[in-house]
Amino acid sequence: MFSRVFGPFNVLTESQVEFIHRYSIRILEEIGLIFRDPRAVEILLRAGARQDPINQRIYISEELVRSSLERAPGEFIFHGRNPEKSVVVGGGQTVTAPGYGSPFVLDLEGNRRTANYEDFENFSKLAGWADGIDCTGGTLVEPQDLPVENRHLDMVWSLIRNSDKPTMGSVVGEVAARDTMKMMSILFGGDDVLRQKPVVLGLINVNSPLVYDGRMLEAMLTYVEFRQPIIIAPFVIAGASGPITLSDALAQHNAEALAGVVLAQNANPGAPVIYGCASAILDMRFGSPAIGSPESALFVSGTLQMGRHYGLPVRAGGTLSDAKDLDVQSGYEKMLVGMASVMSGANFILHMAGIIDSYLTMSYESFLVDVEILRFIQRFMSGIRLEDMDTGMKLLSEVGPAGNFLDNEHTFSHYQTAFLSPMFAERNAYETWQQDRGAISIKEKAREEVKKVLANYVPPPLDPVVERELLAFIARRKQEIQPEYVLERKGEANSVTVPADSAARAEPQEQAEPEIPAQAPPSAEVYPVDMQALAQSVIDGDAPIADRLTREGLKAGMTPEIILEKGLIAGMTVVGVLFKNNEIFVPEVLMSARAMKAGMAHLQPLLEAKGVEPLGKYVIGTVKGDLHDIGKNLVAMMLRGAGFEVMDLGVDTSLEKFLAAIEKLQPQIVGMSALLTTTMGQMARNIEAFDKMNLRPSLKVMVGGAPLSQEFATKISADAYGKDAADAVGKAQMLLRLVRKKATPR
Ligand code: B1M
């Protein structure tokens, strides 16, 4: 924990703060939010919120916001099992915690691989060791070698065992949250003590836009019931789960955070709540989140200012970066967002160490370098202390003009504390660095240091009676929560897996596809209506022209098949190439898709009447237990743009829902998306069910999502893995060809 002697820095004027507040209240009063938990709804209604019986939205008045804010504490003590490590969250203090939630690690051999429990242990040791890190953290990485159902027990145990600092707990639903409470109760001496003392912090994300999901609410209400602190962190990704314009996104974020405060304060008045920020932007070139961007830093500053305005402790992002390694990009992004967090008055900083790759990867080397970044920021925030003028005058007159301060007593007595001594920053003479230090890079230095720390780390003592009780509890709960499903390598019996690198190589016997030009190619054939112009209108995203030229083509007697192939599909194919080459932005692809749709509106009925099948039918959904839909939506939109008929089942899609949709639409392809390592197993279960029901091979399965890989797709015998939306379209087209070739009636 460190104190900030100056600031905080404001990005909004007072009238802008008032504007965002009024805007947020209008959102709460006029648009409303969805809370997917009956207990939460009941608490809110009892507190005076209103529910629309038709759309189920909850509307919260300004008065209810005001009275709830009055109950929320402005600061609280966050206790470690070692009282000397307890910290104050609120006021002028900043408390830090490491990265959270990454499914991958960048290990000390330089490989990015899935995280395991050994990594989790290592990071909890590093967190326990690092001086600038005050809270051990929570989901330091996702240990994918442990069963999903009960891994929270091992994770919380590791946090407790390897560090005596305050800790975070599990929030993946009620069971995990209650187990966390029980473990804390054993550690701190019973439920009654727990209810008096904030000892474990829960990270509650809002499922932006304007939804609180069931599992998060279960966890939130459990933490609040035990009066344990929570961070309420809306996750507005501007341009995807929120408006692209920052002030609108900020208002949405603020409304979502206030709604959470209202719920917590009416569930258990006075329970500590931290106003959080996890919001960022979507890079429109790639459709990927950009957390190390200047806009992400502005988000941090704007949201923290709003939280401070309400007198709440505030949480920010930390040393965030989208870089794939410890490099110059990670250096400048991390310093920018880290500085913005601290200067904007963050009381709690999550992701202070280790995060790279837009939250997807924890880097061992970055962890230590980030601690150095933090120390630089801390030193800056400690400001300039004014010394005694008489002492200074004496010193200056003693040394006098053209003198030397180096061998002065004053320097001797201050040199150890006057300046920050960096762990890694290279300040030696160039030759010394090159000749004596072997031109060692910061990455190599950090790597050696990590190895040293891990080899020598001794976990702080833990009362053996408490340790036994905790281990007995864990053993009992593991007996009770048996893994439902163990994923094993399946044979490749049914599947023809499309290789990762190129859709064109999916079927070796087929010719590789020719390079597609980035403009509508001139057509060799002459048609009564210019098909090249139609293709160009799709490329330009000009729906009115696509609409007009399609109608003109039909009027001139052209067949719908020719207009589709030579105009619309030709245009969309070029769009796919441009997007893949990062030459156009996601919105441009979507505008092209609209132009295609405008033309298709005229062709579709004619094609159907002739019995011509649509280009392809595709059912897509995010698997059960998973609420991430930004990527899935993008894939669905791109598929539609490429001419597929897409049935989108939304998020948290059960096997039954997939089966019903397959039955109804009779698609050639079913696509499943997952962003959580904890839900990836659902894909395998679903595929097993498709196999058992003999739906394959006439039904092809595509999987995708950030934590997946080609290796995983092969392991679960999916037919294709889409690494991004453009890739998904290419693979879908390839699968379609495979199905059509080998079609067997279902
Ligand atoms: Co969460 N989340 N999240 N999250 N979230 C991740 C995935 C995480 C890596 C961040 C982190 O904490 N480090 C981590 C996962 C850890 C794990 O694996 N176990 C995580 C966590 C922990 C959580 C919660 C558990 C949070 C908590 O602990 N408090 C919670 C779980 C909720 C749940 O699902 N049950 C949670 C919640 C949320 C929000 C709801 C707040 C929000 C989602 C909002 C929404 O989707 N409407 C959210 C977000 C935004 C993220 C990150 C930051 C960004 C995801 C995203 O939208 N990316 C994410 C970190 C990350 O991925 N960098 C993270 C942009 C999108 C365009 O990319 O989805 O990868 P993506 O899609 C790409 C490709 O993957 C591919 O094409 C797309 C376009 O190019 N693709 C396919 C995707 N699906 C495909 C399907 C295909 C083919 C290709 O064929 C069918």
* SS3 of residue 670 by DSSP: strand
CATH of 517-612, one of 1.10.1240.10, 3.30.70.270, 3.90.1150.10, 3.20.20.70: 1.10.1240.10
Across the range 638-662, mean pLDDT stands at 92
Confidence check: pLDDT of 745 > 70: no
pLDDT value of residue 486: 62
pLDDT value of residue 136: 98
Check pocket membership of 142 for ligand 1, CB cut-off 6 A: yes
Listed residue (498, 495, 494, 562) closest to 730, CA to CA = 498
Å from CA of 676 to ligand 1 middle: 7
Which residues are paired to 212 by β-bridges? 35
Q: CA-to-CA distance for 707 and 691, rounded, in angstroms? A: 24
- What pLDDT band is residue 487 in, cutting at 50, 70 and 90? low
pLDDT digits (tens, 9 = 90+) for 589-631: 889 988 998 998 999 889 888 877 777 899 999 999 898 998 9
Q: What percentage of the chain reaches a pLDDT higher than 70? A: 94
Q: CA-to-CA distance for 232 and 300, rounded, in angstroms? A: 14
Å from CA of 673 to ligand 1 middle: 10
Å from CA of 143 to ligand 1 middle: 17
- What pLDDT band is residue 274 in, cutting at 50, 70 and 90? very high
* Index of the ligand 1 atom closest to the CA of residue 102: 13
Q: CA-to-CA distance for 384 and 374, rounded, in angstroms? A: 18
Å from CA of 263 to ligand 1 middle: 25
Q: CA-to-CA distance for 697 and 687, rounded, in angstroms? A: 11
Q: CA-to-CA distance for 708 and 723, rounded, in angstroms? A: 8
CATH of 615-746, one of 2.40.50.320, 3.40.50.1970, 3.40.640.10, 3.40.50.280: 3.40.50.280
Beta-strand pair 237-238/280-283 = parallel
Q: What phi and psi values does residue 87 have, to the nearest 5 degrees?
A: -135, 165
Å from CA of 547 to ligand 1 middle: 36
Check pocket membership of 205 for ligand 1, CB cut-off 6 A: yes
Q: CA-to-CA distance for 116 and 141, rounded, in angstroms? A: 8
- What pLDDT band is residue 496 in, cutting at 50, 70 and 90? very low
Which residues are paired to 646 by β-bridges? 618
pLDDT digits (tens, 9 = 90+) for 667-686: 999 999 999 988 998 999 99
Is 256 in contact with 58 (CB distance < 8 Å)?
no
Classify residue 405 by burial, with Cβ atoms within 10 Å: 0-12, 13-18, 19+: exposed
What average pLDDT does the chain have? 92
Q: Which two tokens stand for residue 610?
A: 């002739």
Q: What phi and psi values does residue 356 have, to the nearest 5 degrees?
A: -135, 180
For the chain, give every domain's residue range: 2-103+111-379, 517-612, 615-746
Block residue for tokens 């502005």: 298
Q: Which two tokens stand for residue 550?
A: 């399609």
| Widest CA span in the chain | 101
Is 102 in contact with 12 (CB distance < 8 Å)?
no
List strand residue ranges (DSSP E) for 124-222, in order.
Answer: 167-168, 200-206, 211-212
Atom 72 of ligand 1, nearest CA residue? 631
Find all residues with CB under 8 Å of 267, minimum gap 6, and list them: 40, 43, 221, 224, 225
Confidence check: pLDDT of 467 > 50: yes
Atom 62 of ligand 1, nearest CA residue? 706
Q: CA-to-CA distance for 513 and 510, rounded, in angstroms? A: 9
Q: CA-to-CA distance for 565 and 339, rounded, in angstroms? A: 53
pLDDT value of residue 677: 87
The number of beta carbons lying within 10 Å of the beta carbon of residue 557 is 9
Q: CA-to-CA distance for 170 and 202, rounded, in angstroms? A: 7
pLDDT value of residue 746: 44
The number of beta carbons lying within 10 Å of the beta carbon of residue 588 is 18
Listed residue (312, 311, 310, 336) closest to 323, CA to CA = 336
Q: What percentage of the chain reaches a pLDDT higher than 90? A: 80
The fold of the 2-103+111-379 domain, in CATH, is TIM Barrel (3.20.20)
Q: CA-to-CA distance for 713 and 729, rounded, in angstroms? A: 17
Å from CA of 108 to ligand 1 middle: 26
**Helix 570-580 × helix 586-609 angle, to 10°:** 150
Q: Which two tokens stand for residue 676?
A: 């959580």
* Cis amide linkage into residue 8, ω under 30° from 0: yes
Identity of the amino acid at 385: R
Atom 46 of ligand 1, nearest CA residue? 628
Is 398 in contact with 408 (CB distance < 8 Å)?
yes
Which residues are paired to 363 by β-bridges? 106
For Cα atoms 673, 674, 675, give the angle at the middle one, nearest 5 degrees.
130
For a mutational test of ligand 1's pocket, the pick from 675, 729, 736, i.e. the residue with the most ligand atoms closer than 8 A to its C-beta, is: 675
The number of beta carbons lying within 10 Å of the beta carbon of residue 330 is 26
pLDDT value of residue 502: 38
- What pLDDT band is residue 643 in, cutting at 50, 70 and 90? confident
Confidence check: pLDDT of 495 > 90: no
Check pocket membership of 215 for ligand 1, CB cut-off 6 A: yes
DSSP code string of 462-497: --HHHHHHHHHHHHHHHHHS--S----PPP-SS--P
- What pLDDT band is residue 697 in, cutting at 50, 70 and 90? confident
Q: CA-to-CA distance for 93 and 167, rounded, in angstroms? A: 17
Q: Is 622 left (phi over 0), alpha (psi -120 to 50) or beta?
A: beta
pTM here? 0.89
Q: CA-to-CA distance for 691 and 655, rounded, in angstroms? A: 13
pLDDT value of residue 283: 93
Confidence check: pLDDT of 509 > 50: no
The per-residue b/e assignment along 338-371, b for 16 or more CB within 10 angstroms, e otherwise, is bbbbbbbbbbbbbbbbbbbbbbbbbbbbbbbbbb
pLDDT value of residue 505: 37
Atom 69 of ligand 1, nearest CA residue? 631
Q: Which two tokens stand for residue 608?
A: 């159907």
pLDDT digits (tens, 9 = 90+) for 153-170: 999 999 999 999 999 999
pLDDT value of residue 4: 79
Across the range 296-318, mean pLDDT stands at 96
For a mutational test of ligand 1's pocket, the pick from 120, 617, 628, 633, i.e. the residue with the most ligand atoms closer than 8 A to its C-beta, is: 628
Check pocket membership of 171 for ligand 1, CB cut-off 6 A: yes
- What pLDDT band is residue 485 in, cutting at 50, 70 and 90? low
pLDDT value of residue 742: 65
Is 58 in contact with 44 (CB distance < 8 Å)?
yes
Confidence check: pLDDT of 507 > 60: no
Å from CA of 707 to ligand 1 middle: 9
Across the range 227-249, mean pLDDT stands at 95
Confidence check: pLDDT of 13 > 90: yes
More confident residue, 50 or 526: 50
Check pocket membership of 148 for ligand 1, CB cut-off 6 A: no
Check pocket membership of 620 for ligand 1, CB cut-off 6 A: yes
570 vs 115, 505, 506, 536, 575, CA distance in Å? Answer: 43, 21, 21, 9, 9
Which residues are paired to 452 by β-bridges? none
Question: Which spans in 323-441 are helix H?
Answer: 328-343, 364-381, 389-399, 409-418, 430-431
pLDDT value of residue 67: 98
Check pocket membership of 704 for ligand 1, CB cut-off 6 A: yes
Check pocket membership of 207 for ligand 1, CB cut-off 6 A: yes
Across the range 126-136, mean pLDDT stands at 97
pLDDT digits (tens, 9 = 90+) for 359-370: 999 999 999 999
pLDDT value of residue 420: 95
Q: Which two tokens stand for residue 135?
A: 């809270």
Calculate the dihedral angle through the C-alpha atoms of 697, 699, 702, 703, rounding to the nearest 10 degrees. Answer: -90
Q: CA-to-CA distance for 131 and 165, rounded, in angstroms? A: 11
Atom 45 of ligand 1, nearest CA residue? 628
Q: CA-to-CA distance for 354 and 102, rounded, in angstroms? A: 10
Confidence check: pLDDT of 194 > 80: yes
Across the range 529-538, mean pLDDT stands at 95
